[in-house]
Amino acid sequence: MDRPTIKTGLLKWTAIVLVAISILVLLFRMAITIEPPKVDEGYARNLKRVELGNDMYTCEESWLKKNEFGLWEMYLQGSAFELGVKNGILAVDLIKTQEEVFVNKLQEMVPSDFYLRFLKQVVVWMNRKLDDYIPIEYQKEIYGVALYASDTFSFIGPSYQRILNYHTAHDIGHALQNMNLVACTAIGIHGSRTEDGRLLVGRNFDFSMGDDFARNKIIAFYHPEKGYKFASITWGGMIGVVSGMNDQGLVLTLNAAKSGIPKSAKTPTSILARQILQYASNIQEAYEIAGQVEIFVAESFLVSSAKENKTVVIEKSQNGMALYDPGGETLILTNHFQSDYFRNSELTLKNKAEGASVYRWERTKELLDKKPVHDVASFAEILRDQRGLADKSIGMGNEKAVNQLIAHHSVIFEPGELRMWISANPYQLGTYLCYDLNRVFSDSTEVSDQLFCNGESIAEDPFLFSEDYQKFNRYRQETKKIKAMIGQKEVSEVPENFLDDYLLLNPHFYYPYFLAGEVCRLQGNRQRAETLYNRSLSLEIPRKVDREQVEEAMKRLK
């Protein structure tokens, strides 16, 4: 028998390798495929969206409309799958826009197509059993929403799998804290600290995926078949909760804590928050629900209960849980754990030493202590504050400030009265509109009704109309251009007077001096680069990683 030629052998081994790769790809895809829950899809086929006017739609007894301040208001009623279907039908355009913004932002943050595809596969693999940790009713609701997701993004994955995975975005943002995606502040007071002794809760949701992501915020009013009615501030396609209040006067907000990199999927924190808001009427019930599930990042759940006239924090990590009750009449929550159980953990100590959380906590306390008694208006002032300790100017957009000019939304709750004030765009600078849940959930409410309460609004922040605000917008635009030029090393044509004008746009912030120093370094102007780096280091830098970035740039000069 003739021996096979080298060419024949090579073809044989190539075929074997290709078959092996094909099998591995098939097994990988089988492993990451998440099957949707069983539902009556015929129900969805019989529903349609009815347009009543400009930005006003109905679907059976549910509806969606945009108010004069640019906030979308959505009322949903039904079983789990029905809630999702109506959500998807009514908000189909918002869901597509939100996914487009989200995907574009990810591509901006990770410009390498290869690395983005790699990260996608890592996340998909890590979340391959995500549905095991999401209650079936929320799977059905998400599937109802996913039926109306755009085919434009099918290259990412099937619509149900995409929408399901997007509910982990808040958690992944926690894990990627070096990307400065999450840095929230919350306050709860009662007793002698408020005018009537009742609870007052305020929070900034500083989840930064850009202005476009926050542009179409939705105030969703849920009347589910099971559990309590509740309101949630959300966005297109999101059924989880990050800030909300139910009709029992229970408030819940999410605040990130320092977390290790998750190794596998568990329950997304926004889904757990949704479960608590829908099924808990007091602190004990909230704590019991939180104890029944595993989450894959560390999280602080601020829980405020009208029934107990009290605010606490449920601190939960991948391997433990604690109830933090500071006693007294004031609770401040930024982004570090405070309970005896967690306060001396390695991650908490690292977070406090290296991040901006402690500084922001201290600034919040300083602002609270300026007045013995607070009301909704003074809470708005605190949530809009941009200064540092002792009223020091620390630059616009500094993470050490309570108001970092990145908030998706800001909200103030009066749980005892079932009222909440929600900020219109931009950030927390727009009008705070007051909503009364007693009124919204009454049987007489119709889509054409004005939902927010006349005469109860808090006016826009005067900063919105200032020259400094115009400078801040120009600063962000110029910063984006300069970063692009530095990334491409195309700075030779940047004139010196351009940098001088740029620095005047945000003169108390460390970052523009660092970027200007980078331009000068690349231009070969070592002396001015060193001066700019030193100026940057002399200012209030929010985090250790930010300071190290400037120090590393200084070393490159030498």
Q: What is the mean pLDDT of residues 328-354?
A: 94
Determine if the peptide bond prior to 426 is cis (ω within 30°): yes
* Longest Cα separation, the chain: 100
Q: What is the model's pLDDT at position 19?
A: 47
When pLDDT is averaged across residues 516-536 and rounded to a whole number, the result is 95
**Residue 29: what pLDDT?**
45
Pairing between β-strand 432-436 and β-strand 218-224 as defined by DSSP bridges: unpaired
* Residue 18 scores a pLDDT above 60: no
Model confidence pLDDT, tens digit, residues 114-135:
656 666 666 666 667 788 889 9
Assign 27 a pLDDT band (cuts: 50, 70, 90): very low
Flag whether pLDDT at 181 surpasses 60: no
- Model confidence band, residue 519 (pLDDT cutoffs 50, 70, 90): very high
Which pLDDT belongs to residue 297? 85
Is 50 exceeded by the pLDDT of residue 20?
no
Question: How high does pLDDT run on average in the chain?
Answer: 89
Q: Which amino acid belongs to residue 173?
A: G
Residue-range domains of the chain with CATH:
53-465 (3.60.60.30), 467-557 (1.25.40)
State the number of CA atoms in the 13 A half-sphere of 5 facing the CB: 3
pLDDT, mean of residues 409-423: 98
Range with lowest mean pLDDT among 10-19, 381-390, 530-539: 10-19
Q: What is the pTM of this model?
A: 0.90
Q: How confident is the model at residue 52 (pLDDT cuts 50, 70, 90)?
A: very high
- In the predicted structure, residue 321 carries a pLDDT above the cut 60: yes
Q: Please, what is the Cα angle at 74 between 71 and 80, to 5 degrees?
A: 145
Give 339's contacts (C-beta < 8 A, 6+ positions apart): 313, 315, 322, 323, 324
- What is the pLDDT, as a whole number, of residue 123? 66
Strand order, beta sheet including 200-205: 330-333, 185-189, 200-205, 409-414, 419-423, 432-436
Residue 107's pLDDT is 73
What local confidence, expressed as pLDDT, does residue 429 receive?
A: 98
Q: With 80 as the cut, is the pLDDT of residue 488 above it?
A: yes
**Does residue 330 have a pLDDT over 60?**
yes
Per-residue pLDDT for 33 more than 80?
no
Q: Is pLDDT above 50 for 520?
A: yes
Mean pLDDT lowest among 35-44, 311-320, 335-344 = 35-44
Give me the pLDDT at residue 17, please: 53
CB 187, CB 371: distance < 8 Å: no
**Is the per-residue pLDDT at 23 higher than 80?**
no
CB-based contact 411:384 (threshold 8 Å): no
DSSP count for the chain of H helices, then E strands: 20, 17
501: pLDDT strictly greater than 70 = yes
**Per-residue pLDDT averaged across 185-190, rounded?**
97
pLDDT at 125 (0 to 100) = 65
Residue 3: pLDDT over 90: no
Torsions phi, psi for 28 (to 5 deg): -65, -45
> What pLDDT is attached to residue 482?
94
Other beta carbons within 10 angstroms of residue 284's beta carbon come to 12
For range 414-422, the mean pLDDT:
98
- The letter for the amino acid at 364 is T
pLDDT tens, 215-263? 999 999 999 999 999 999 999 999 999 999 999 999 999 998 877 666 6
* Res 184: pLDDT: 92
Max mean pLDDT among 42-51, 157-166, 305-314, 442-451 falls in: 305-314
pLDDT digits (tens, 9 = 90+) for 433-457: 999 999 999 988 889 899 999 899 9
pLDDT at 24: 39
Average pLDDT for residues 504-517, to the nearest whole number?
98
Report whether pLDDT(370) > 50: yes
